[in-house]
Amino acid sequence: MNRKNFVLLLIVAASLVFGLAAQNRTSQKWEYKESCSSRDMNKLGDEGWELVATTSNGAVQCLYYKRPKSEP
- For residue range 56-71, list pLDDT tens digits in order: 888 878 899 999 998 7
pTM as predicted: 0.58
Cα–Cα distance, 62 to 29 (Å, whole number): 23
pLDDT at 6 over 70: no
Higher pLDDT residue, 15 or 20? 15
What's the pLDDT tens digit per position in 17-70? 666 555 556 688 999 999 888 788 889 999 999 999 988 888 878 899 999 998
Q: What is the pLDDT of residue 47?
A: 94
Q: Phi then psi for 36, rounded to 5 degrees?
A: -105, 30
The span from the CA of 47 to the CA of 13, in Å, is 42
